[in-house]
Structure 1
Amino acid sequence: MVWSLLGALAAACCFGVATVLEAVAARTTAPSEGVDPRLLVRLAANVPFVTGIALDLVGFLLELAALRSLPLFVVQAIIAAALAVTAVVAGPVLKVRLRAREWAAVLAVCAGLALLGSSAGREGPAHIGAGFHWTLLGASVALLVVGAAAGRLPGTARSVALGLVAGLGFGVVALAARVLTSLNPLDLLTDPASYALAAAGAAALLFYATALQRGSVTSTTAAMVVAETVVPAAVGIVLLGDHTRRGLAPMAVVGFVVAVAATLALARFGEPAPSGHGPVPEQGRDRSEPARPAS
């Protein structure tokens, strides 16, 4: 189990660095109206974005390995804490100065994860009926439809909606990985959860890139963090039998709440500014709108 925890932490490091690279790439690519799948095609020619995707793939493999023996609520909280990694990396690389409260949030994330790691029980692949696998596939298709509709909303509402849909997509990826009982290629080809994992992952990446390109960074990232941690954690406990070590449930609850709350405090690091002068400040308006002239 120790190796699984280390693997999940390594995955968070990969995702944290990838966030910086992908967000900078998204900001340097011409925006489009609504949700445009061609955005990912344009980004495919961007070296920082491709490097970020490569790190994401490494991180996903590490996350997949961790999900084979750790509860979802532990892995998802660790993965969400990638923002703490992003915040720390943004300092020396992008010359972003962390405030005292943000350093406190980074330390709080570490403390929360330490509590979670200490309380986690050992798990294995969840054996559940085929109906749940098909439900995940149906949910991934539904997210594509809902995300396309969310892309037509105005301003902050679009950022929050796309962030939620992206977070739910990443949540479906985690749930699908958790219920894959066999990694044999033939078994994967006949398991609806495999297709759910691929579809939800692609949808989440598209919606998150779209939201970062045109919307509020903090609103998008905060919504995504909540959706990708709370929903899979609840499903894991209620349906998949995830549990803590005997008598340590209160510790797990405190650790989860502290880690997620501290991660939300770092939401502005969901996308550092491409200029290298720090995260884009929140202006409370749609970034696709022209700035008003100073009076």
Structure 2
Amino acid sequence: MLTYALALLAACANAAASVLQRKANRGLGEHGSLSVARVAPLLRDPVWISGFLAVIAGFVLQAAALTVGALAVVEPVLVFELPLALLLASRVFHGRLHRREWACVLGMTAGLAVMLYFLAPGGGDANRVSPYVWLTAVLLTLAVAGGTVAWGRRAESSGDDPASGSRAAAAFGVAAGSLFGLAAALMKGAMSRYADGFTAILTAWQLYAMAVTGLVAMFLLQSAMHAGRLLAAQPGLTLSDPLLSVLWGVLVFGEDVRGGWDTAFALLGAALIVASVLVLARSPLLTVETDETAPRARAEDATARRP
């Protein structure tokens, strides 16, 4: 139960970070996404800084959950960041969740319960993973993230296509989610040395690789927010992280899962989660936030700057 509680608290922190960063990103426009200069102004924004602190809190809680639980258990729970973010956004952006949103939240809850019950992931030992397996898995994950970033940049460069921004946002969202999943795997690798003392964690190469990976993932997340509408970026961001983490847990760390009909029922639960996320990500609350609130914020900001 402690694993689930810590993972759920991490999802709450991530949801707060998502809403705060969206609020800070509203007035920066929707182009030039892969530019450090476009992200630099956020470093002086108290709202964005609060969101960044929430991200750190989420990482700490996630690390604590990974210390006591399996990666394939912790990461799927984090998909609740999306409904929690919408609940918080409904307060911050003065929207309202309707029956469709609540039905999707229930669908995600039921799907997650079914998937975790029938998979029953557990066991595994990150300390037993050989350096060659680590290197192969990390390079494959980076290749997936790099490929989606390249595709997103090509989509973004075709500015004459009205859908280019949405495709770029979706690609950057998948890339960010993939790197967040990699960061979780690296975090699991570092925290698996907890039994050897805190010094062992500080000397683990995975800890520092996780920090670099997390920073790049944060940059890609900002890029996804700038490139297009959030409802295009959110599904890939929400789903790629737990999917990649489950693959890491089972294929790399050797976490045990049930087979046979249990796997079939678990896949049905996963399908329910995916369907709920896809519907929930198209919530009018996100559409209002990106299509109506952002232009008003930019107009107010321009008015404030007039002499």
TM-score, normalising length: structure 1: 0.80
Distance 1:98 1:187 in 2: 46
1:264 aligned onto 2:266: no
Distance 2:81 2:108 in 1: 10
Distance 1:15 1:218 in 2: 17
Distance 1:55 1:270 in 2: 25
Q: 8 Å contact 1:72–1:233 — kept in the other structure?
A: yes
Equivalent runs, 1:101-180 vs 2, <5 Å: 101-119=100-118, 120-123=120-123, 125-126=125-126, 127-135=128-136, 138=139, 146=147, 149=150, 150-154=152-156, 155=164, 156-180=166-190
Which runs of no fewer than 5 residues in structure 1 stay unpaired? 283-295
Larger deviation, residues 121-130 vs 169-178: 121-130
Alpha-carbon deviations, 1:213-244, whole Å to 9, x = none?
23132221112223212222123222322234
Aligned to 1:92: 91
Equivalent runs, 1:234-249 vs 2, <5 Å: 234-244=247-257, 249=263
Judged with a 3 Å threshold, the aligned counterparts in structure 2 of structure 1 residues 3 and 12 are, in CA distance, closer, same or farther, namely: same
Distance 1:25 1:45 in 2: 10
Deviation of residue 141 (structure 1)?
6.2
Aligned to 1:26: 25
Deviation of residue 56 (structure 1)?
1.3
Q: Secondary structure at the match of 2:254?
A: coil
Q: Secondary structure at the match of 2:289?
A: coil
Q: 8 Å contact 2:17–2:51 — kept in the other structure?
A: yes
Deviation of residue 106 (structure 1)?
0.9
Aligned to 1:205: 218
Judged with a 3 Å threshold, the aligned counterparts in structure 2 of structure 1 residues 73 and 133 are, in CA distance, closer, same or farther, namely: same
Q: Decide which of 213, 226, 229 is 1:216's aligned counterpart.
A: 229
Greater helix share, structure number = 2
Q: 8 Å contact 2:149–2:175 — kept in the other structure?
A: no
Deviation of residue 99 (structure 1)?
2.6
Distance 1:244 1:16 in 2: 29
Distance 2:263 2:146 in 1: 37
Give the letter aligned to residue 131 of structure 1.
Y
Give the letter aligned to residue 173 of structure 2.
G
Q: 8 Å contact 2:107–2:273 — kept in the other structure?
A: yes
Judged with a 3 Å threshold, the aligned counterparts in structure 2 of structure 1 residues 224 and 78 are, in CA distance, closer, same or farther, namely: same
Deviation of residue 27 (structure 1)?
1.9
Give the letter aligned to residue 101 of structure 2.
E
Give the letter aligned to residue 201 of structure 1.
G
Equivalent runs, 1:223-234 vs 2, <5 Å: 223-234=236-247
Deviation of residue 91 (structure 1)?
2.4
Distance 1:58 1:190 in 2: 22
Deviation of residue 261 (structure 1)?
2.7
Q: 8 Å contact 1:159–1:211 — kept in the other structure?
A: yes
Query: Over aligned residue pairs, what C-alpha RMSD do you find?
Result: 3.1
Aligned to 2:297: none
Give the letter aligned to residue 196 of structure 1.
A
Aligned to 2:193: 182
Judged with a 3 Å threshold, the aligned counterparts in structure 2 of structure 1 residues 222 and 248 are, in CA distance, closer, same or farther, namely: same
Judged with a 3 Å threshold, the aligned counterparts in structure 2 of structure 1 residues 116 and 141 are, in CA distance, closer, same or farther, namely: closer
Q: Secondary structure at the match of 1:44?
A: helix
Give the letter aligned to residue 186 of structure 2.
A
Deviation of residue 16 (structure 1)?
1.1
TM-score, normalising length: structure 2: 0.77
Distance 1:8 1:251 in 2: 23
Q: Secondary structure at the match of 1:153?
A: helix
Q: 8 Å contact 1:164–1:220 — kept in the other structure?
A: yes
Deviation of residue 116 (structure 1)?
4.2
Equivalent runs, 1:19-98 vs 2, <5 Å: 19-29=18-28, 33-98=32-97
Q: 8 Å contact 2:111–2:268 — kept in the other structure?
A: yes
Aligned to 2:289: 279
